């Protein structure tokens, strides 16, 4: 569990933990009765919202980070990033962090929206900045992976890999993992950026890794889901799907859930890779699933909730068509956004 998850009302990052439960734990995803509120933004949303206290943070192609009051559905404030953002925000130490297409990564005060610091990469940052041990980690399309200090934004180290990075890292106390467009999955030492291992897949890796115990799970555009030994990078198993994978896995109860462009959502055994179930969602599945209590939710066409043990559809909401967004499951409330640029609170 991410050490910065601070309370029961925070959904702090896309990779808040491997199950993407944020700081909320495995919350139920009750079938919503309707829309509590909706907020139309000026452009498309290509990232996932995150929840901190009473504020929902959403980046948008309109160039703003929007902080939305979850009670009213109105803006608490918005920050002009000066460029579109595809980066899912993350929350840590009272700050909200996000990247944008200009290459800038910013830390804002989560309550006021005041800028605390910013750093600049050489090209767009689509990945979500992740925090571990007081350090912020992110990759950029400039071919570098960065570590900066959470409090000051001072650059700690830069690791050039020579190919674009869109994968959001998964950081544990001793390791940082991410995928790269050079077809490899990397494991770095957080303190120095030293490459501990890197393992090749058959094509570019756009997916973001999840860690389950000593196993790193990730998808590749070579159509396969991979499980690596977290310590050595050796391939434990590999499962082929029908098309490329840019969806990122979620893990819960020994099962890894991941979508493929072949229209299926897969549930695989973390230990062996054996298929537990797969469901045809009748559209390319590029977004990331989110696990709740007995339920896995994914934005594919609209929002779909499936029984996590059988794959049976529990309910659907024809809202939130998405490429990369994932819903926030907050018990009686579900928050989501999508390519139409509308943010919804369902209840």
When asked if residue 338 is in the footprint of other proteins (CB under 8 A), the reply is no
Question: What pairs with residue 20 in β-bridges?
Answer: none
Instruction: Give min distance, CB of 157 to other proteins, in A.
Output: 19
Residue of the chain from 4, 27, 46, 159 that contacts other proteins (CB under 8 A):
46
Residue of the chain from 44, 59, 147, 215 that contacts other proteins (CB under 8 A):
44
Burial 312-332 (b: 16+ CB within 10 A, else e): eebeebebbbbbbbbbbbbee
Angle ∠(125,15,181) on CA atoms, nearest 5: 45
Half-sphere exposure of 68 (CA within 13 A, CB side): 27
Radius of gyration of the chain (CA): 18
Instruction: Give min distance, CB of 203 to other proteins, in A.
Output: 8
Tokens read off for 171: 């950081």
Residue 26 to residue 94: CA distance in whole angstroms:
23
When asked if residue 123 is in the footprint of other proteins (CB under 8 A), the reply is yes
Instruction: Give min distance, CB of 195 to other proteins, in A.
Output: 18
When asked if residue 10 is in the footprint of other proteins (CB under 8 A), the reply is no
When asked if residue 244 is in the footprint of other proteins (CB under 8 A), the reply is yes
Residue of the chain from 92, 168, 215, 284 that contacts other proteins (CB under 8 A):
284
Binding residues among 224-243 for other proteins as defined by CB under 8 A? 242-243
Cβ distance 83 to 104 under 8 Å? yes
- 117 vs 177, beta carbon nearer other proteins: 177
When asked if residue 111 is in the footprint of other proteins (CB under 8 A), the reply is no
Cβ distance 118 to 82 under 8 Å? no
Residue 194 to residue 63: CA distance in whole angstroms:
34
| 245 SS3 class | coil
Q: Which of 129-137, 146-154, 199-207, 272-280 is the region at the interface with other proteins (rule: CB under 8 A)?
A: 199-207
Tokens read off for 312: 């049976």
Residue of the chain from 181, 208, 299, 308 that contacts other proteins (CB under 8 A):
181
What 8-state DSSP symbol labels residue 345? E
Binding residues for other proteins, total number by CB under 8 A: 35
**Torsion from C-alpha of 182, 274, 1, 263, nearest 10 degrees:** 60
| 266 SS3 class | strand
Q: Which of 103-111, 151-159, 197-205, 287-295 is the region at the interface with other proteins (rule: CB under 8 A)?
A: 197-205
- 283 vs 309, beta carbon nearer other proteins: 283
Binding residues among 50-109 for other proteins as defined by CB under 8 A? 61, 84
- 185 vs 204, beta carbon nearer other proteins: 204
Q: Which of 17-25, 161-169, 208-216, 304-312 is the region at the interface with other proteins (rule: CB under 8 A)?
A: 161-169
Q: Quote the distance between the C-alpha of residue 242 and its chain's center.
A: 23
Residues binding other proteins (CB under 8 A): 43-44, 46, 61, 84, 123, 126, 141-143, 162-164, 166, 181, 202, 204-206, 221-223, 242-244, 246, 261, 263, 284, 286, 323-324, 339-341
């Amino acid at each position: 569990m991410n050490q910065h998850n601070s309370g029961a009302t925070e959904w702090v990052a896309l990779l808040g933990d491997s199950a993407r439960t944020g700081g909320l734990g495995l919350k139920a995803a009750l079938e919503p009765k309707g829309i509590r509120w909706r907020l139309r933004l000026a452009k498309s949303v290509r990232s996932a919202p995150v929840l901190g206290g009473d504020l929902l943070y959403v980046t948008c192609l309109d160039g703003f980070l929007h902080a939305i009051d979850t009670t009213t559905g109105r803006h608490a404030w918005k920050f002009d990033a000066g460029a579109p953002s595809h980066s899912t925000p993350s929350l840590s130490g009272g700050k909200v962090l996000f990247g944008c297409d200009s290459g800038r990564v910013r830390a804002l005060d989560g309550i006021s929206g005041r800028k605390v610091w910013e750093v600049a990469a050489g090209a767009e940052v689509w990945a979500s900045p992740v925090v571990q041990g007081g350090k912020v980690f992110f990759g950029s399309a400039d071919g570098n992976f960065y570590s900066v200090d959470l409090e000051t934004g001072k650059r700690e180290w830069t690791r050039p890999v020579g190919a674009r990075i869109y994968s959001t890292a998964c950081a544990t106390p001793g390791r940082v993992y991410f995928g790269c467009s050079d077809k490899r999955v990397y494991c770095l030492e957080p303190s120095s950026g030293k490459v501990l291992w890197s393992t090749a897949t058959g094509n570019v890796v756009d997916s973001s890794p999840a860690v389950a115990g000593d196993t790193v799970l990730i998808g590749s555009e070579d159509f396969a889901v991979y499980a690596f030994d977290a310590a050595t990078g050796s391939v434990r198993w590999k499962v082929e799907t029908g098309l490329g994978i840019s969806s990122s896995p979620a893990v819960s109860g020994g099962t890894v859930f991941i979508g493929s462009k072949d229209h299926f959502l897969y549930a695989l055994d973390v230990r062996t890779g054996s298929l537990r179930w797969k469901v045809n969602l009748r559209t390319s599945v590029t977004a990331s699933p989110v696990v709740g209590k007995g339920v896995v939710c994914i934005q594919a066409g609209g929002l779909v909730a499936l029984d996590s043990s059988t794959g049976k559809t529990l309910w659907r909401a024809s809202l939130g068509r998405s490429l990369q967004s994932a819903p926030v499951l907050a018990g009686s409330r579900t928050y989501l956004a999508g390519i139409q640029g509308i943010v919804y609170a369902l209840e």
